Structure 1
Amino acid sequence: MSNTENFECEYIYHVYTHANGKDLIFREEENYRYFLNKLIKYIIPIAEIYAYCLMPNHFHLLLRFKKIGEILNIDEHKYLMKQFSNLLNSYAKAYNKRYNRKGSLFLDYLKRKKVSDEKYLVKLLHYIHNNPVNHGFVEDISMWKYSSYHSYINLKKTSKIERNEMMQYFDTVDNFIEYQKSNVEYDFLIID
């Protein structure tokens, strides 16, 4: 179901995809930085990003699509998907050139799930930030450099992450950190 759900403006989505086969999406630190720059170029104009986590073979985004205005006869889903297509294609093209590689880097489809429940939203934020721990890359989420977690714990630093929306669920940064580092059951969180 989540793969066929159409994107709609002004809704929150969990967006994620994996590398094709056993490939890696990110081999070195420069790859992560390059992808984040492409994310800023293609996705920030159409969405507020609440959270992200970049893993060696997949990534997760939590975002809300902006209202695209009163453009007549526009298919919102196609317009928003085109931005993701531009992001993934431009990254894959540069990646393939850098590593003298050919073929598809990402799976053929972008997985997505609309978020309509606040409880689910907060658990999803936890899930995304804890992805490196859950996959055994680090023991503590603060050790992973390629997620939005550090943006949340340093609110004085300017960020492209829209933190205010999610911070309303936590009274303080300390409460945020405590929740992010707690054990949370993902009982109704379905990731496919």
Structure 2
Amino acid sequence: MGNIDYHIALQPDGIYHVLNRANGNEHLFYNDENRHFFLRKFQLHVGPVADLYAWCLLPNHFHLLIQVKPELKIAAHQQQVKSGFRQAATNPLSNFIMERFSNWLNAYSKAFNKMYSRKGSLFTDYLRRIAITNDQQLAATLFYIHRNPVHHGCCQHLDSWDWSSYQEYQNRQYVLISPAFVQQFFGTLGAFKKFHSQPVYLKEAKVVE
């Protein structure tokens, strides 16, 4: 993965795996209150510009699978947010999209630092993003995100970790995610569960027919 460019611009309609982690050996989350606040801020800042297909929160990092909304929706939201600012018409949409993500992480960092009397940067210096370019990569990324708690020893089974979208899909209780895209990809909940029953150590997960 050494050749991956993690600094690519987020473009309208693009699908991406985005991730970040805490600086050094620090944690991003100490309790459920932290996690709920983090997700609420995501909905506030990023929800208007991107659909969320998968997510997972670990103690010191997070993973998301997102699709940026179409250009017209992004532009309309930019005009709403930047009303009265001349740069709204000329600022590239990719910059505005990244600004939404930055505002999200900054809002969380400020609240976290205040709560724990902490100073300095909470996250590493940039949000990593990887473009999803085909169905196989999409499937592998979805599996990677959902298996992360087991992979890192946080739990023994995917369905025993509360802080990932696997629970939303399995229980059909959609709070954060936009499920239609992934549901169409797998066809049935049974196929989705069968796909996620593959061994956690697999590097290349495949959709099970």
TM over 0.5: yes
Q: Which residue, 108, 116, 138 being the options, matches 2:125?
A: 108
After superposition, residues 64-143 of structure 1 pair within 5 angstroms as 64-69=67-72, 72-143=89-160
Unmatched tracts of structure 1, length 5 or more: none
Give 1:110 shift. Answer: 0.6
Match for 1:28: what amino acid? Answer: N
Q: Could you list the runs of 5+ residues in structure 2 that have no partner in the other structure?
A: 77-88
Tell me the residue number matched to 1:63: 66
Structure 1 window deviating more from structure 2 (48-57 vs 179-188): it is 179-188
Higher helix share: 2
Which has the higher Rg, Structure 1 or Structure 2? Answer: 2
Please say which of residues 52-61 and 176-185 is displaced more in the overlay.
Answer: 176-185
Contact 2:140 2:204 in 1 (8 A): no
Give the number of equivalent residue pairs: 187
* RMSD between aligned residues: 1.6
Q: CA contact under 8 A between 1:46 and 1:68: conserved in structure 2?
A: no
1:143 and 1:123 map into 2 onto residues whose CA distance is 21
Match of residue 45 from structure 2: 42
One-letter amino acid of the structure 2 residue matched with residue 15 of structure 1: V
Q: 2 CA distance for matches of 1:32 and 1:160?
A: 13
Counterpart of 2:176 in 1: which secondary structure? coil
Offset at residue 77 of structure 1 (A)? 1.8
Note the alpha carbon deviations across 1:114-133, whole angstroms, 9 max, x for none. Answer: 10111110111011000000
Aligned-partner Cα distance in 2 for 1:170–1:158: 17
What secondary structure sits across from 2:65 in the alignment?
Answer: strand
Task: Tell me the percent identity.
Answer: 38
